[in-house]
Copies of this chain bind each other. A is one copy, B any other.
Amino acid sequence: MNRMNGYDVEDLSVGMSAPLARTITEADIVPFVGASGDNNAVQINQEFAATTPFKSCIRHGMLTASVISAAIANKLSGPGTICARARSSRRQGVPGIPSGQTVSVREMLAKKRLVWLTRACTVTGTVVITGEALVKVGSRG
């Protein structure tokens, strides 16, 4: 581990996985809307959202995806990780409350200190966002 308690390349191997179980609440949405400017009616206007197939406000996909990035920053590969490339795909609106985020090591390019991570976010077991990230980690070598 590095001095910030994040994983060095020597600590990682393919198949390692870390969950971050964090429910996204109303209290997260207000600052996210302020920071991003994304005040889409389907996410913040209950009256409009009731006219959509979702029947109620849905969570911002980007906020949900951002919490997965938090799982990388805080869990795997943890503090000190530098994200070189990232991709995420949202498969549908998020009508429930996202509560499960998982990050796993898919591939190691150890000499370059690069690691491919896969990530997913679930709502009551259904995967709503998938993605991958290429991250650079430290080394004790």
* A interface list, Cβ under 8 A from B: 4, 22, 28-29, 31-32, 34-42, 48, 52, 60-63, 65-67, 69-70, 72-74, 79-93
Contacts and interface: CB of A to CB of B under 8 A. Distances in A.
A53 B60 CA distance: 32
A61 B83 contact: yes
A36 B66 contact: yes
A53 to B, nearest CB: 8
The 6 closest A-B pairs by CB, nearest first: A31-B31, A40-B73, A36-B66, A37-B70, A32-B35, A38-B70
A39 B92 contact: no
6 contacts: A38-B74, A41-B73, A60-B66, A62-B69, A62-B86, A87-B90
Contact of A84 (B4, B63, B92): B92
Contacts of A86: 61-62, 89-90
Nearest to A22: B37
Contacts of A81: 40, 42
B85 A90 contact: yes
A70 B39 contact: yes
A69 B38 contact: yes
B87 A88 contact: yes
A87 B85 contact: no
B87 A89 contact: yes
